[in-house]
Amino acid sequence: MADSRNDCELWLWDGATEYEGIFVKMDGASFSARVRQPRRAASSLGKRIAPSSLDLNKMFTQRRFLAHFRGSLDGTLLEAQVLSVQVCGNGEHDYLVSGRFSKLDEQQLALLRKMSVENAALLLQRQVS
């Protein structure tokens, strides 16, 4: 059986929460992916409560994410905007998200390189209007 960490194709971070996942579809800058919060030994206690549709929309569609994925752009940091989200029932992932990637310009990348993780998180949250 393959290690699920090695199967991770996509990483998303909104400044507060990290997600990992696999792509369902890629079409240019548009994507659909199954995602979950990273599984860590200490975080496996208890059972998660499924959020409502409104909670899901707040968690994903009202935020910007820094994104990284394996493939032709491996190593490139992008911005992801999730346009739709629903609960995923495959047992391995929590959510099915769809959205668009956009490239960060050189000025944004230079700014991120100079920032602490905490300040980068604040910047991500402030960018959402």
Judge whether 98 lies within some domain.
yes
Segment 59-71 mean pLDDT:
84
Q: What is the pLDDT of residue 105?
A: 82
Judge whether 36 lies within some domain.
yes
Q: pLDDT exceeding 90 applies to what percent of the chain? A: 30
Q: What is the pLDDT of residue 93?
A: 93
User: Which domain CATH number covers 54?
Assistant: 2.40.10
> Is the separation of the CB atoms in 68 and 77 below 8 Å?
yes
Judge whether 3 lies within some domain.
no
Judge whether 122 lies within some domain.
yes
SS3 state at 72: coil
Residue with tokens 């409104």: 54
Judge whether 54 lies within some domain.
yes
Judge whether 5 lies within some domain.
no
Judge whether 1 lies within some domain.
no
What mean pLDDT is reported for the chain? 79
Which residues span the domain enclosing 18? Answer: 10-127
The CA–CA distances, whole Å, from 112 to 41, 50, 72, 103 equal: 30, 33, 22, 13
**Which tens digits make up the pLDDT trace of 1-21?**
344 445 789 999 888 889 999
Judge whether 59 lies within some domain.
yes
**Which tens digits make up the pLDDT trace of 68-105?**
887 655 567 888 999 999 998 888 999 999 999 988 88
126 falls in which pLDDT band (50, 70, 90)? low
